[in-house]
Chain A
Amino acid sequence: MAATPHRFRDRCILFFGTVHLAFLAVSILPRPWTESIGVGTVTHAYEATTTCLQDWSMFETIPNIHHLDVRLIVESPGTAPQRLGMRLPGLRPYPQPEHARYRNWATLVLLRQDRSDQREPYMRRVAAELLKSGRYPPEATVRLDCEAWYTRSLLGVRKLREIAVLRPTSMGPFRLADLAPVTPQATNP
């Protein structure tokens, strides 16, 4: 049996519960819908306060991407291109089988435009790490290769017995010195 809400605490619970429940009720509608009916601003503000993001459009990339691999190619003058891992720090390889967090990073930053602003700082850090290793001169170049395998249509898979098609993309090559300018050695006055 429910208690009678006489006490201040009970009133607070009722108030908070009602507000949060109303927020959840509105959040059943996908984000574009809430924005079209004009309650988007209110729900955004409440989300910002509680950090309870209600955006459940999971598995967006599933129909498109079958497999992903990302790597760095470094070329020093007069030497053969070298293949390196893309994970910072340490330039470790892109995990295979894929790791959800690295895949999400690669999808957002490299494949889509959502977070493409993160590409340049990432490449600058890569260059800084390569220079710090002492194995590459500032004139060496670095390129980021992204191998995305896109799933064929189901009809295509049935006919061709091939799941996906490779569509590689590259960023670069960039000179290490341009990405991470070498700071001049401190000199004695």
Chain B
Amino acid sequence: MRTLSAKIHDLLTGLFLARADARIYACVRMAFALVALMNLLMLWPHRGSFLTDVGMIDQELTRQTYRWPYLTVFDWCRDLTSVSVVMIGAGTAMLMLLAGWLPRLAALAIYVWHVSYAARGVTALCGWDTVLRCVSFLVLVSPLPAVWTLTKKRAEAPEAPCYGLTLIRFQLLVIYWQTVLDRLDSQFWLSGEFMGYYLLSHNARWPVAWVADFDLTLRALTYLILIVEVALPVMLMTRRWHRAGLLIGFLFHFGIFVTSNNLLMFLLAMMVLYAAFLRSEDIDWLTRQARRLLGTSDARQGADQKVRKSRTSRAS
């Protein structure tokens, strides 16, 4: 009879060291780089307000009250020119990560950027900044296999240990489940009135008084959101339901984006986490669709199918 410790060991080995398709890491890497770049570009016009010493946030007070050790490159870069240089450097690192060129170095630079601007602009942060900061740490410590890169082709590593994907997946679970538990304290959620208030709030894209007339629908929607947030991580983690989970998750965040002002970045940041739930068969399907759209059915497709078949036979 196997001991409990052996079972735990097997469980952890399966969670962290099982082999994962390297293309999933490539998807996460590229999605993260693109979204981080978009966030940087959207912050660029406001860098003077939030990241310089002539802006709206006092650095010395922030240093004194910051919850963690105040580590930021903006301790040295305080004027508009040097802040611009830092941002250009971070943007370059994001392009490098997107292209897969020196990816570990690029991931480190991007992590430093996220930690730095979060410390300096602490009173102007949004939910997606926190999501991106968590992902930047996980991308930094994850395998970054040389798959789908623009750099000189090396021997491809078709598989990598899955710990990075596992942790990103659990990160999504924490976001949803902690949010739901936190709402158990909120009268607006428990009474089912939240969606009514949401659609009248500063976040709403079209706040109109007649929304309040649909009381029953809005209550049902409020409770449905809680159910979806509890169910999504479970769906995404099961083979049978993960595609439905991907679709429902996308529709859920797209719905938030459509009904809200300013939440495009939140949709995109969450989609980076969703990329970690892709499976080999999803990527095969997406690749086939992309090729069909581009009209390129080349010999490479046959090679991919052979690799997939051999993987399937090994797995079985």
Contact = CB atoms under 8 A, between A and B. Distances in A.
Real complex partners, A and B?
Answer: yes
Contacts of A4: 13
A27 B178 contact: yes
15 contacts: A2-B10, A24-B170, A24-B171, A24-B174, A28-B178, A30-B185, A50-B137, A51-B137, A58-B179, A62-B194, A63-B201, A64-B201, A102-B49, A109-B56, A154-B212
Interface stretch (A65-73, A75-83, A134-142, A179-187): A65-73
Contacts of B10: 2
Contacts of B50: 101, 105
A163 B133 contact: no
Given A33-B181, A63-B188, A56 B175 contact: yes
Contacts of B196: 154
A105 B167 contact: no
A156 B179 CA distance: 28
A14 interface: yes
Interface string A107-149: 0110000010110011001000100000000000000000000
B124 A104 contact: yes
Which 7 pairs from chain A and chain B are nearest by CB? A121-B58, A17-B16, A100-B262, A63-B197, A157-B212, A101-B124, A48-B68
A87 B56 contact: yes
A57 B133 contact: no
B161 interface: yes
Contacts of A157: 200, 209, 212
A114 B72 CA distance: 21
B61 A57 contact: no
A161 B209 contact: yes
Contacts, number: 205
B266 to A, nearest CB: 8
A67 B48 contact: no
A55 B52 CA distance: 26
B189 to A, nearest CB: 9
B213 A47 contact: no
B177 interface: yes
Contact of B179 (A57, A98, A99, A105): A57
Contacts of B181: 28-30, 33
Nearest to A68: B202
Size band of the B side of the interface? 35 or more
Chain B interface, >50% SS class: helix
A56 B123 contact: no
B254 interface: no
B134 interface: yes
Contacts of A59: 198, 203
B46 interface: yes
Q: Which of B49, B67, B207 has the most CB of A within 10 A?
A: B49
A122 B163 CA distance: 45
A16 B140 CA distance: 13
Nearest to A148: B202
A105 B49 CA distance: 11
Contacts of B17: 2-3, 5, 10, 13-14
B68 A47 contact: yes
Contacts of A25: 170
Interface in B14-28: 14-19
B295 interface: no
Contact of B123 (A1, A118, A154): A118
B207 A163 contact: yes
A21 B124 contact: no
Given A14-B16, A20-B167, A118-B57, A63 B194 contact: yes
B18 A154 contact: no
Contacts of A27: 174, 178
B182 interface: yes
A89 interface: yes
A64 B220 CA distance: 21
A104 B181 CA distance: 23
B166 interface: yes
B65 interface: yes
A36 B43 CA distance: 37
Given A13-B161, A51-B137, A59-B198, A21 B15 contact: yes
Interface in B97-130: 114-115, 118, 121, 123-127, 130
Most buried by B among A44, A102, A103, A105: A105
